[in-house]
Amino acid sequence: MSGINFEITEEKLNEYADNGYIIVRKLFDEEEVRKLKKCFEDTEEVVQNKIKLLGGKEVYHYHGKLSQKNAKSGGTFLWHQDYGYWYKNGCLFPEMLTFFIALDKCDKGNGCLKVLKGSHKCGRIEHSIVAGQTAADIDRVRELKKKLELIYVELEPGDVLINSCNLLHCSGPNDSDRRRWAYLMCYNTRHNNPVKVHHHPCYTPLNKVSNTAIKECENYTDFGGKKFMNPKEMPSY
């Protein structure tokens, strides 16, 4: 599926329901990726499609983050579900998803994501703190790996992985001489507004902009109205 005419078809809805994820190739073109990189180094064009994937419910931007795996930096992430974190934030339903936008090439060599295809159907798995990370129950993951296909999510810059909040995923270390950066946009439904106030936003209406908004934007430094968190201080993602 290409980002040029990005639309969630019935076929893609079924693929998402079966596998727990879909990949959109070149959702963001070279100019858009360049501008995103510039913002982080010195889009809401997908809103309607998120609504489809989350059952037609109104969605809002839950939070975003820059995932940085610099060259020779390691950076292993243990097997987990995003809902393993978000459940504890007071989100009662798994009506949540993530857009993983590759800013750099992501492959096995520099620690790309790995997913267990169809693992979202298992529901929420118990998570605990392991080596400073919130990780899914290792015994259950071990058994699931015997039954489900392991997929290496290799992406080119501008490609996007859209994944269910219950999809099991992890990533290996980046021991290569290449950087692996990605921007993650996480979304929740208004219906699933958290029942407790925490470090991520509760429901805030999402204002749509045009598909050309990234290309038109020249403001790379004004982060007024935005709240940033120190990853070392975050109780959860």
Tokens of 200: 């991520």
Domain borders along the chain are 10-233
Strands 96-102 and 160-164: antiparallel
Query: What pLDDT, on a 0 to 100 scale, did the predictor assign at position 5?
Result: 65
C-alpha to C-alpha distance for 170 and 152, rounded to whole angstroms: 10
- Would the pLDDT of 73 be above 50? yes
pLDDT the model gives residue 26: 93
Question: Global pTM?
Answer: 0.90
22 — phi, psi (to 5°)?
A: -140, 160
Give the pLDDT confidence score for residue 224 in this predicted structure.
Answer: 74
Residue 77 belongs to what H/E stretch? strand 77-80
pLDDT at position 44 is 44
Average pLDDT over residues 97-114: 97
Q: Is 80 helix (H, G, I), strand (E, B) or coil?
A: strand
Residue 40 has pLDDT above 60, yes or no: yes
Mean pLDDT check: name the lowest of 4-13, 39-48, 142-151: 39-48
Name the band, by pLDDT with cuts 50, 70 and 90, for residue 235.
low
- The number of residues making up the chain comes to 237
DSSP state, residue 71? T
pLDDT score of 7: 85
What are the structure tokens assigned to 212, written together? 């050309």
Order of all β-strands in the sheet with 169-171: 77-80, 169-171, 113-116, 150-153
The pLDDT, as a whole number, for residue 98 is: 98
Q: Residue 80: its pLDDT value, please?
A: 98
Residue 2: pLDDT over 80: no
pLDDT score, position 146: 98
Which superfamily is assigned to 10-233 in CATH? q2cbj1_9rhob like domain (2.60.120.620)
Higher pLDDT, 4 or 14: 14
Residue 11 predicted with pLDDT over 80: yes
Q: Residue 75: which pLDDT band, with cuts at 50, 70 and 90? A: confident
> Quick one: which of 89, 55, 84, 60 has its CA closest to 166?
84
What average pLDDT does this structure show over 106-132? 96
In tens, the pLDDT along 136-171 reads 999 999 999 999 999 999 999 999 999 999 999 999
Mean pLDDT of 122-130: 95
* pLDDT averaged over every residue in the chain: 90
**pLDDT bucket at 205, cuts 50 / 70 / 90:** very high
What count of other Cβ atoms lies within 10 Å of the Cβ of residue 146? 6
